[in-house]
Structure 1
């Protein structure tokens, strides 16, 4: 009640935020997308005329006619046989020997083939809830296996990522929920930092522009003091090294100032040409 009353009083007085900062919610990226799953390539280039996995092993299919081969091709057998070929292709990249089916790398390769097939399905049918749940479960399972392999055999882990063209994106240690209030706070801090840095840069430029006249006056004063001390035969407190040091600083400032003036002229000319 008190909050509502104070808020209404503030509104009635006309107090508004002086900083105009607009917060835009980041675009939602589904879990099956490559940005979150870590798959850097799509499905392998397997032709639709390829025979099914088990039909290709048949001796009769080698001498069969084109019509028969077409009947037993992936295009005719359907998506399930094509997905099986994709998994076999991914496993063949990493398997140790002919009968390797259950090592960590082959299991990851099999999951990767299945995930990429489901990703292709989700791109065509984004409202397929069952495929969405399945691909999320498979991605989480693959992350666990990759974490295990990374912990116990890092060299093979890197080799596997290179072979399968993957990017490891492990689970975050802490879950952080995105909120508008916190984002606005960070944006306000960034805005204040920009204002502070801009003011510091302007003040730095002002001091650098005043450095040249100050060094000239300092050089004149040092020469005057040294000449007076020599004429009056007083102890000399200003040495030639001090004067040379100031002269060198003045020369460096002059060179920097000329470079800045040339840059400003070029920028002005570019703006005039664009107008």
Structure 2
């Protein structure tokens, strides 16, 4: 048993010295980030152009000077008005009629607008624990509603994802912890696959390079056999079709070889430039 363990340790040391594989743990991505929440669309940046909802229907604000419009814009009135405007824009995309306020589509749109506003807040204040908990709760609530809609009305589910520009990322059924040992095993397998594929590719190129001389020798041999059989008046076993077939294969190989040489020369010129 000790001898077997010693041999395994020696083999592992040899492999470790020959194969240089470095494992780096992936960067941690918070749950509120768009990469994990599934929000493919951000917030409009120029908030000065958007007038608050309470003043947007006024006729006087349309002809007012730019300074007055700036005062009544969402950039001046605060984040709450901005969030209301974002939510209204998303709800208008999916609502069935103007009185639709509590269907699953409008609820998801309202939550999505709130999530995107909180994501921007978290980018500015990443240590805000209360906001982080709130945005996580909203993301989980939206996943629950999307899961329900996906189960009972899949066409509307796809339409909603397209309208709100979000990606559904459900909760995983099983939890798999990332370990260094497993990652190194996978990296080693990938490294071995690369070595095997490289050797197979080199061997294939070697065989293809030898195919031309082989076909030329085969063509000469067939012609010689046919001429000798005709001269000695023996039964002819090599016909013209066999010779024409080999000639066609040889011409095709020459064409492929010429294209390969041109590609190599072009690549070489690019590297030199």
RMSD: 3.1
8 Å Cα contact 2:47-2:74 kept in structure 1: no
Residues 79, 234 of structure 1: CA spacing in aligned structure 2 closer, same or farther, 3 A cutoff? same
Q: Which residue of 2 aligns with 1:20?
A: 20
Matched with 1:172 is 172
- Residue 109 of structure 1 deviates from its aligned partner by 0.8
Deviations 1:247-270 (A, max 9, x none): 111111111112222222233333
Give the structure-1-normalised TM-score: 0.83
Cα gap change, 1:48 to 1:270, in 2 (>3 Å): closer
SS for the counterpart of 1:226 is helix
* CA apart distance, 1:46: 4.7
Identify unmatched segments of 5+ residues in structure 1: none
What TM-score do the two structures reach when normalised by structure 2? Answer: 0.83
Match of 2:233 in 1: 233
Conserved? CA contact 2:94–2:106, under 8 Å? yes
CA distance in 2, matches of 1:171, 1:135: 16
Provide the aligned length of Structure 1 versus Structure 2.
262
Q: 1:86 to 1:265 in 2, by over 3 A?
A: closer
**1:122-180 CA distance string (max 9 Å, x none):** 01001111111111111111111112212222232222222222122222233222221
**Runs of 5+ in structure 2 lacking a partner?**
none
| Shift in alpha-carbon separation, 1:198–1:46, aligned structure 2, 3 A | same
From the superposition, tell whether residues 263 and 43 of structure 1 become closer, same or farther in structure 2 (CA, over 3 Å): closer
Give the corresponding residue for 2:94: 94
Deviation at 1:98, TM superposition (A): 2.9
Give 2:140's aligned residue: 140
